[in-house]
């Protein structure tokens, strides 16, 4: 279904991965590294956003509820409604740890920390 600007609301995951992510101040904080799907109920559990590193060193990976990423056409990236401090204080781990045990722990932490209503209730 097209949006008012004529773009579709659907996007392939392969196109979303690698898209820049910006904070409320319009500053690039990182990019979408992966998208974790709940294969049993057809929902997106969370996006894995990597930020805080330099040249691939020291990067942290954060599970952000998908509903918090708002695509901005002018920036050609996603904007999240959080300050840099909120993001830096948020739960972070390796991608392997975030997806361990089907990502359930990371999902719970992310939705709780960012105060997003769980889609699974």
Q: What is the pLDDT of residues 47-77, one digit of tens each?
A: 999 987 665 566 789 999 999 999 998 999 9
Contacts 24+ apart (CB under 8 A), 14-21: 16/47, 19/76, 19/77, 19/78, 20/75, 20/76, 20/77, 20/78, 21/49, 21/51, 21/69, 21/77, 21/78, 21/79, 21/80
Judge contact between 22 and 77, C-beta under 8 A. Answer: yes
Q: Quick one: pLDDT at residue 61?
A: 92
The count of other CB atoms within 10 Å of the CB of residue 88 is 14
Q: Which pLDDT belongs to residue 54?
A: 60
């Amino acid at each position: 279904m097209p949006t008012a600007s004529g773009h579709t609301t659907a996007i392939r995951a392969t196109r979303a991965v690698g898209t820049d992510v910006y904070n409320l101040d319009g500053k690039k904080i990182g990019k979408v590294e992966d998208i974790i799907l709940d294969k049993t109920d057809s929902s997106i559990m969370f996006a894995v956003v990597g930020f805080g590193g330099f040249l691939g060193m020291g990067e942290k990976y954060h599970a952000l509820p998908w509903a918090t990423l708002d695509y901005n056409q002018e920036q050609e990236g996603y904007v999240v409604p959080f300050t840099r401090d909120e993001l830096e204080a948020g739960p972070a781990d390796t991608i392997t740890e975030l997806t361990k045990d089907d990502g359930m722990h990371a999902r719970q932490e992310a939705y709780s920390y960012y105060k997003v209503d769980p889609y699974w209730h």
